[in-house]
């Protein structure tokens, strides 16, 4: 099982419509949304490219917004952790 762990930008939440769209993707086994992190559980990865779009809603305006992390790792062997950062499409 593979986990995609998306830390949300400060002051943002996952848009409800985005959550519904993610939950209907067949590759996603489970979706957990915590206060500031979205966990996307995938049964497995293949050579086929996958993309996910998360729409965020700004609740509180934060000055000097810092990038947030996206971590991808194997649930059973988290040592192979891959980390990227994003700052949002509108920035």
| 91 found inside a domain | no
Find out whether 27 and 52 touch, Cβ atoms under 8 Å. Answer: no
Range of the domain at 34: 2-86
- Give me the number of domains the chain comprises: 1
| 28 found inside a domain | yes
Note the pLDDT of residue 32. 94
Name residues of the chain where pLDDT drops below 50: 91
Note the pLDDT of residue 23. 81
Paired tokens of 75? 């649930």
Note the pLDDT of residue 91. 46
DSSP H stretches of helix in 12-91: 16-23
Q: CA-to-CA distance for 26 and 75, rounded, in angstroms? A: 19
Query: From the CB of residue 29, how many other CB atoms can be counted at a distance below 10 Å?
Result: 13
| 21 found inside a domain | yes
CATH number at residue 31: 2.60.40.690
Could you tell me the CA-to-CA distances from 37 to 17, 20, 47, 49, 60 in Å, in that order? 17, 16, 26, 23, 16
- Closest CA relative to residue 30, chosen from 41, 19, 22: 41
| 78 found inside a domain | yes
Q: CA-to-CA distance for 82 and 67, rounded, in angstroms? A: 16
Note the pLDDT of residue 90. 55
């Amino acid at each position: 099982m593979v986990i995609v762990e998306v830390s949300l930008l400060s002051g943002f939440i996952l848009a409800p419509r985005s959550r519904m769209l993610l939950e209907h993707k067949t590759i996603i086994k489970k979706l957990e949304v915590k206060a500031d992190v979205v966990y996307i559980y995938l049964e497995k990865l293949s050579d086929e490219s996958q993309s996910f779009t998360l729409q965020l809603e700004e609740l509180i305006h934060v000055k000097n917004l810092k990038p947030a992390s996206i971590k991808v790792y194997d649930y059973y062997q988290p040592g192979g952790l891959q980390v990227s950062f994003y700052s949002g499409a509108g920035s």
